[in-house]
Copies of this chain bind each other. A is one copy, B any other.
Amino acid sequence: MVVWDPPIRDYQFLYHELLPAIETVQRLGYTDFDADFLDSLIEGWATHCEEVWLPINQLGDSEGLKFEDGKITMPQEFKDAYHQGIDEGWLSTTCDPEHGGMGVPLFFQAVTWAEFGTSACMALSVLPALSIGVYEVLVKHGRQDLIDHFATNMASGIWSGTMCLTEPHSGTDLGIIETKAIPQEDGSYRISGSKCFITYGEHDMAENIVHLVLAKAPGGGEGTRGISLFLVPKFLPDDWKSGGLDGISHSLSSEHNGVICSGTEEKMGLHASPTCVMSFEQSTGWLVGPLHGGMPLMFEMMNRERLATGLMGVGLAHAAYVNSLAWARERRQGRSLRGIQEPHEAADNILVHPDVRRMLLEAKVNNEGCRALAAWIGLLLDQMHSDDPEEAEMATALVALFTPIAKAHFTDLGCETCSTAMQVMGGAGYISEYGVEQFYRDVRISKIWEGTNGIQALDLAGRKITQDFGKNLRYLMWPLTEFIEENRDTPGMAEFNKPLHQGVRGLQQLTLLMIAEGMANPNFLAAGATDYCRYMSNILLGYMWAKMAKLSLEKKGDPFYDAKLASARFFFKRIFPETVGLAAKIQSGPKSLMDYPAEMF
């Protein structure tokens, strides 16, 4: 019963009109990457998702996975779909051609790939998303023999990857992990410890599973400074005895490497995505990156996964919207308050009702705004690798600033939108038949994993804003204030530019307040972080909508652009005003939180 309408036209608008995507990546060295190729990628991936992934999504939810004797068996349909993806090369679009990848710019995988994959089948899409993250860390920081041995199979998806961070007592606070790594004479390590909440820690879709494990090796400092990153495969190579992996074949040992899945979590959604408790028992692994320098590498991967998680919010929210719209278009209840619209029907279509429109537009406009910001962030990921140090610095600063926003705000809105879509459908939204309740359950994890949204807000307010004397924020303020200045008198722009200008002034004042008060009392900063993050997210989405409105004003009369203009209007009239309340909450400071007697909660 579930339908999907991939936003192909929207991505074409974003990449070809709003952003100079092709021009930028060609300049960055992707000389063969032209508009036609990008369009064929977008369309090809949409088709694959629609034909191969979408049909298994509800089945994955109802059937789930089977756990027995430490082994997880996935539904056969998932294995088939996953392997079709490998065969058609869809799991390795951004990987290096040297490792069998397509070698396309990062933005495609980070944004469009992630959104479509999640819309069609989130439980499946998280597997390649994780594997690509492991691949990237490995290729960037791994020893050459590790790269040679693992990269090609990781890129294709024949082997998959995981991030092993969390331990039962240690989720947000990685400094207190207890997993140990003992160095061996041959340069390898023996890893021992327990990890939990490991997505796809065990399954039978890939021949091998490559775990990136955070552990403490002797001689490191206290807390996170003592953490190193280790590559620990489920199965070691058959002909490896000791030392490095030079010249070692891909044939796998039949004995496991002390990597044991001791359980899976039953959870509210994502039933076909294994969430594993993993034990490492004297497992052989190799160091990736510097000894006691594992945290920055893990954050590199984490940041990619944070953006991917943000896109999960958009992907499920769009899927939920599309299904609620399809339902709304068929549903007739009551009559328009302006008089009967369809006299030959027993009732008017519910799109005549303002409150139904409000719900659908909240969903639509939130999705489109987030998608636009995501497209910008995607392109910045590529620009981070520019040879031009100024461009690279700008892109690095903005990605640092935008990552917590994309993670937190896109997933907050993703959850809100799935709820709104359910509400449009009434009882039909709550029952399993129409699929929207699955989106509602699945999307909820996105606010939690890869660092809860509260942690994202703290990262933004407590780190990203003040980092390098405020450099990150300056790189945003330059184009933003320039845009506002430029459009002060642009005909038709006042209704967008004015509230944006006011919002930006508010952001500046709030930022100063947070920094000034935060110096004396860091709890001021922490108490306002979540609201500040949401405030700033509104500013960024407002910037995107103002830019989209400007473009659309020039193409008035074309329904696509007229709708964009109407969406921009809806955003500034019906969404953006929440910033006023957020500002008041931030300004109220930490007193109402911290004075509350702990025993009286």
Contact = CB atoms under 8 A, between A and B. Distances in A.
A325 B355 contact: no
A238 interface: no
Interface in A259-308: 265-269, 275
Given A355-B530, A570-B592, A596-B570, A170 B333 contact: yes
Contact of A597 (B354, B441, B566): B566
A360 to B, nearest CB: 6
A170 B428 CA distance: 12
Main secondary structure of the interface of A (DSSP, over half): helix
Contacts of A563: 596-597, 600
Interface string A187-200: 00000000011000
A594 B352 CA distance: 8
Contacts of A526: 337, 353-355
Interface string A314-353: 0000000000010010001110011000000011000101
Interface in A569-601: 569-570, 573-574, 577-582, 584-585, 588, 590-601
A373 B172 CA distance: 37
Contact of A562 (B527, B590, B597): B597
Interface residues of A, number: 99
Nearest to A351: B598
Contact of A357 (B522, B560, B596): B596
A564 to B, nearest CB: 9
Contact of A355 (B171, B423, B527): B527
Given A166-B427, A171-B427, A423-B452, A592 B580 contact: no
One complex includes copies of this chain to the number of 2
A573 B592 contact: yes
Which of A166, A172, A430, A530 has the largest number of chain B CB atoms within 10 A?
A: A430
Interface in A530-572: 530, 559-560, 562-563, 566-567, 569-570
Interface stretch (A40-48, A241-249, A432-440, A504-512): A432-440
A599 B183 CA distance: 65
Contacts of A596: 357, 361, 563, 566-567, 570
A364 B423 CA distance: 25
B577 A333 contact: no
A523 interface: yes
A452 B591 CA distance: 37
A566 B351 contact: no
Contacts of A360: 601
A173 interface: yes
A422 interface: yes
A38 interface: no
Contacts of A577: 580-582, 584-585, 588
A356 to B, nearest CB: 7
A351 to B, nearest CB: 5
30 contacts: A169-B332, A171-B333, A171-B427, A172-B333, A173-B334, A197-B427, A267-B432, A268-B431, A268-B441, A337-B523, A354-B526, A355-B526, A355-B527, A355-B530, A358-B530, A361-B601, A423-B448, A423-B452, A426-B448, A430-B444, A560-B600, A562-B597, A563-B597, A566-B592, A569-B591, A570-B596, A574-B585, A577-B580, A580-B580, A581-B581
